[in-house]
Chain A
Amino acid sequence: MISFFRYLKGYVRIRLSGYSPERFLNLCKARHIIIWDLESCETSYEMNLSIRDFRKLRPLCRKARARVLITERHGLPFFLYRHRDRKMFPVGILLCVLFLYTMSLFIWNIHIEGNQAESTDVILDYLASEQILHGMPKSHADCKEIQSMLRIHFPDITWVSAEIRGTRLLIRIRENRDVEAAKPEKTEDTPRDLVASRPGIITSVLVRKGVAQVKPGDSVDTGTLLVSGAVEIRNDSGEVTDIRYTRADADVWARTEYVYQDSFPLSHEEKHFTGVCRYGLSIQLGNKRFSREPKAPGPDFTRLETEYQLRITENFYLPLSLRKIRLEAYELYTDHYCPSQARTLAQANLNEFLGNLIQKGVQIVENDVTIDIGRNSCASSGTIVVLEKLGIPKNLTEGATILE
Chain B
Amino acid sequence: MGLKEQMSDALQLPKDLTLGAVITTITGKHEAYVENYMSLIEYTETLIRIQARTCKLEIHGAQLEIAYYTNDEMKITGLIEEVKYC
Partners in one complex: yes
> Interface of A with B (CB < 8 Å)?
21-22, 25-26, 28-30, 32, 34-41, 45, 47
**CB pair B45 A29 closer than 8 Å:** no
Q: Chain A's nearest CB lies how many Å from the CB of B64?
A: 8
**CB pair A25 B70 closer than 8 Å:** no
- Among the listed A29, A41, A45, A47, which residue makes an inter-chain contact with B70, where contact means beta carbons less than 8 Å apart? A29
**CB pair A22 B43 closer than 8 Å:** yes
Return 14 A-B CB contacts under 8 Å, by A number: A29-B39, A29-B69, A32-B71, A34-B69, A35-B68, A35-B70, A36-B67, A37-B66, A37-B67, A38-B66, A38-B67, A38-B69, A40-B64, A47-B69
Q: Contacts A26-B39, A28-B69 given; 10 further ones with Cβ under 8 A? A: A25-B40, A29-B70, A29-B71, A32-B70, A32-B71, A34-B68, A35-B70, A38-B69, A40-B65, A45-B43
Docked complex Cα distance between A29 and B51 (Å): 13
Known: A32-B71, A34-B70. A25 touches B43 (CB 8 A): yes
Given the complex, which residues of A lie within 8 Å of B41, measured CB to CB? Answer: 22
- Among the listed A22, A34, A37, which residue makes an inter-chain contact with B65, where contact means beta carbons less than 8 Å apart? A37
Docked complex Cα distance between A37 and B9 (Å): 38
Q: Chain A's nearest CB lies how many Å from the CB of B53?
A: 14
Docked complex Cα distance between A41 and B67 (Å): 15
Size of the chain B interface, CB-CB below 8 angstroms: 15
Docked complex Cα distance between A353 and B52 (Å): 115
Docked complex Cα distance between A37 and B69 (Å): 9
Those 7 A-B pairs whose CB atoms lie nearest each other, nearest first: A38-B66, A26-B39, A36-B68, A35-B69, A22-B40, A25-B40, A34-B70
**CB pair A22 B42 closer than 8 Å:** yes
Q: Chain A's nearest CB lies how many Å from the CB of B38?
A: 8
Docked complex Cα distance between A22 and B50 (Å): 10
Given the complex, which residues of B lie within 8 Å of A30, measured CB to CB? Answer: 71
Q: Chain A's nearest CB lies how many Å from the CB of B69?
A: 4
Docked complex Cα distance between A41 and B68 (Å): 16
Q: Chain B's nearest CB lies how many Å from the CB of A34?
A: 5
Docked complex Cα distance between A32 and B66 (Å): 16
**CB pair A40 B69 closer than 8 Å:** no
Docked complex Cα distance between A54 and B53 (Å): 29
Docked complex Cα distance between A32 and B39 (Å): 13
Docked complex Cα distance between A30 and B71 (Å): 7
Residue among A28, A32, A39 with max Cβ neighbours from chain B (10 Å): A39
Q: Chain A's nearest CB lies how many Å from the CB of B28?
A: 20
**CB pair A39 B65 closer than 8 Å:** yes
Q: Does B18 contact A (CB under 8 A)?
A: no
Docked complex Cα distance between A36 and B74 (Å): 9
Given the complex, which residues of A lie within 8 Å of B42, measured CB to CB? Answer: 22
Q: Chain B's nearest CB lies how many Å from the CB of A3?
A: 12
- For B37-61 the 0/1 string (1 means CB < 8 A from A) is 0011111110000000000000000
Docked complex Cα distance between A38 and B40 (Å): 13
Given the complex, which residues of B lie within 8 Å of A29, measured CB to CB? Answer: 39-40, 69-71
Given the complex, which residues of B lie within 8 Å of A26, measured CB to CB? Answer: 39-40
- Among the listed A34, A36, A37, A40, which residue makes an inter-chain contact with B43, where contact means beta carbons less than 8 Å apart? A40
Docked complex Cα distance between A387 and B10 (Å): 126
Question: Which residue of the partner chain A has the closest CB to B38?
Answer: A26
Docked complex Cα distance between A25 and B71 (Å): 11
Question: Which residue of the partner chain B has the closest CB to A49?
Answer: B69
Given the complex, which residues of B lie within 8 Å of A25, measured CB to CB? Answer: 39-40, 43, 69
- Among the listed B45, B67, B71, which residue makes an inter-chain contact with A40, where contact means beta carbons less than 8 Å apart? B45
**CB pair B71 A36 closer than 8 Å:** no
Q: Chain A's nearest CB lies how many Å from the CB of B58?
A: 14
Q: Chain A's nearest CB lies how many Å from the CB of B33?
A: 14
Given the complex, which residues of B lie within 8 Å of A21, measured CB to CB? Answer: 43
Q: Chain A's nearest CB lies how many Å from the CB of B46?
A: 9
Question: Which residue of the partner chain B has the closest CB to A35?
Answer: B69
Docked complex Cα distance between A41 and B64 (Å): 11
Question: Which residue of the partner chain B has the closest CB to A26?
Answer: B39
Docked complex Cα distance between A87 and B64 (Å): 44
Given the complex, which residues of B lie within 8 Å of A22, measured CB to CB? Answer: 39-43
Given the complex, which residues of A lie within 8 Å of B44, measured CB to CB? Answer: 40
Residue among A21, A34, A36, A45 with max Cβ neighbours from chain B (10 Å): A36
